[in-house]
Structure 1
Amino acid sequence: MRTKTETRRQAILQAATEVFQQSGFERSSMSDICERVGYSKPTLYSYFPSKEELFFAVMFEATEIEFQTIFETLDTGMDDITKSLENFGVGLLTLLYSPQVQAVRRLVSSEAGRSDLGKKCFELGPARSEAAITAFIQAAMDQGQLRKANPRVAGLHLKGLLEAEWIEGFIFQTLQELPKKELLLTVKRAVAVFMAAYGKD
């Protein structure tokens, strides 16, 4: 039964992915997804209570492996912490500003006050990111790679610096996807400022 349930869930996610890609979130409906996958509405709603939650699940499934890979780059064992932070920054911005994740972030912003989608996304995205970055920075401070400070605040500063050059374009929807060359330069500038503030003298 468990295998059958997971198989059905994956079939729904695949159908939803195809529908969202073809029609976009606003123009897609749960009826469209039912028709594509061949299941009834009660079956679909038993897995995903709303279109918003189904959309989030599609995006989460698509980005989770990349999310885990990015945070594996936070390696305090590296001799060059600047390089470790740059690797992390490139991965993080590539993920956050991919068209798929931008779509999720905008959806969350518009739906957060009307449902618990915002809370779910925060717990699975920013809250996990914050915990991982805080732990990394605390370890780097303990090892003498960074000066002693509040590791959570330092992590928030790092993320803020990484997004500083792009966040307004995202908010006002003038940004589609980061050019790779500009992304690399952005990360180098952000990490340089972070190290000026938190690097060892």
Structure 2
Amino acid sequence: MRKKSGERCQAILDAAKTMFEKVGFEQATMAEIAATVGYSKATLYNYFSSKEQLFLELTRRSADRHSEQLFSLLMPNDERLPIETLPDRVNEVLELLQPSNDLTATLQRFGEGVMSNFLSLKSLAARRMLIAAAANQPEAGRLFFENGPAKGMQYTAQFFEQAMNAGQLRRADPRVAAAHFRGLLESEVYESGLFNARRELKPKEVKATVERAVEVFIRAYAQPAADLTQD
């Protein structure tokens, strides 16, 4: 991809995303994308050498946004993480997941953020497209997973490790705890959303769903009573 006008490049990516979501990766063509954005095919090929390269760039940017959003929800106060590479708005939520804060309330806020950002019908529509494309473009699937969900799970596990060190949760593998919490958040809504079999959730439904997930998680990972009484 040539480094040209960022505005024109973004317009092409937006048109491609619209077309991929509408007809799928396999059915979309560079000609249709060009028509959607109002440019010639020659202009598209000046920016992207193929439909596959265009899709890979979309995937990379989507993964970066996924990781950035999860980071803003999860960010522990840890100087080892690349805070300086994130937008200014991230600094406003750095206190969102602190092990010193009330754990149940913290997980509730975090869970509602995850559900609103990543389990909405729009987000799941994009995931369907990625899953379908990954069958023939495994590099796209790997790129999105490693730079999006995998990083998000890393940040989540880091938070749970700090919560365990602070005595708020029993000692366990923090990566497994992160996977369990994610699974609980997804359990009631993921499949129905992925198959487009439900409507968009209202805020009160999101809140209630997260409350149930947090309750089960706390019951599973709470400190045993014997540990809490030790000096």
Query: After TM superposition, is the score higher than 0.5?
Result: yes
1:197 matched to 2:220? The reply is: yes
- Residues 51-66 of structure 1 mapped to structure 2, 5 A cutoff: 52-53=55-56, 55-56=58-59, 59-60=62-63, 66=69
Residue 74 of structure 2 is matched in structure 1 by 71
2-structure distance, mates of 1:14, 1:109 = 19
Residue of 155, 177, 182 corresponding to 2:200:
177
| Structure 2 residue corresponding to 1:103, chosen from 100, 125, 131 | 125
User: Displacement of 1:172 after TM fit?
Assistant: 3.3
Is residue 39 of structure 2 the alignment partner of residue 38 of structure 1? yes
Classify 1:169/1:199 alpha carbon distance in 2 versus 1 (closer, same or farther; 3 Å): same
TM-score when scaled to structure 1?
0.81
1:63 offset after TM fit, Å? Answer: 5.5
Aligned counterparts, 1:75-154, within 5 A: 75-116=97-138, 117-154=140-177
CA contact (8 A) 1:30 1:51 kept: no
Read off the aligned partner of 2:186 and give its amino acid letter.
Answer: E
Q: Deviations over 1:74-116 (max 9, x none)?
A: 5224420111111111011111222331112112222222212
Partner deviation per Cα, 1:93-140 (whole Å, 9 max, x = no partner): 111222331112112222222212221221122201110111000011
**What's the secondary structure of 2:98's corresponding residue?**
coil
Are the counterparts in 2 of residues 70 and 88 from structure 1 also a CA contact under 8 Å?
A: yes
Whole-angstrom distance in 2 between the partners of 1:48 and 1:132: 33
Higher helix share: 1
- After superposing on structure 2, the runs of 4+ consecutive aligned residues of structure 1 that deviate more than 4 Å are 57-65
Distance 2:149 2:61 in 1: 18
1:92/1:164 Cα in 2 relative to 1: closer, same or farther (>3 Å)?
same
User: Does structure 2 conserve the Cα–Cα contact (< 8 Å) formed by 1:15 and 1:37?
Assistant: no
One-letter identity of the residue aligned with 1:158: F
AA of the residue aligned to 2:124: Q
Structure-2 residue corresponding to 1:155: 178
Would the alpha carbon gap of residues 64 and 198 (structure 1) be closer, same or farther in structure 2, given more than 3 Å must change?
Answer: closer
The amino acid that maps onto 1:24 is K
- Stretches of structure 1 that go unaligned for 5 or more consecutive residues are none
- Cα pair distance change 1:57/1:33, threshold 3 Å: farther
- Counterpart code for 1:38: Y
Q: Classify 1:121/1:57 alpha carbon distance in 2 versus 1 (closer, same or farther; 3 Å).
A: closer
Give me the identity figure in percent.
32
- Name the structure 2 match of 1:186: 209
Tell me if structure 1 keeps the 8 A contact 2:160–2:174.
yes
Q: TM-score, normalised by structure 2?
A: 0.72
Name which of structure 1's ranges 89-98 and 187-196 shifts more when overlaid on structure 2: 89-98
Task: Name stretches of at least 5 consecutive residues in structure 2 with no aligned partner.
Answer: 76-92, 226-231
Distance change in 2, residues 1:152/1:77 (3 Å): closer
What RMSD in Å do the two structures reach over aligned CA positions?
2.9
Contact 1:29 1:51 in 2 (8 A): no
Q: CA deviation at 1:10?
A: 2.3
Task: Answer with 1 or 2: which has the greater Rg.
Answer: 2
For residue 51 of structure 1, report the CA deviation from its aligned partner: 5.6
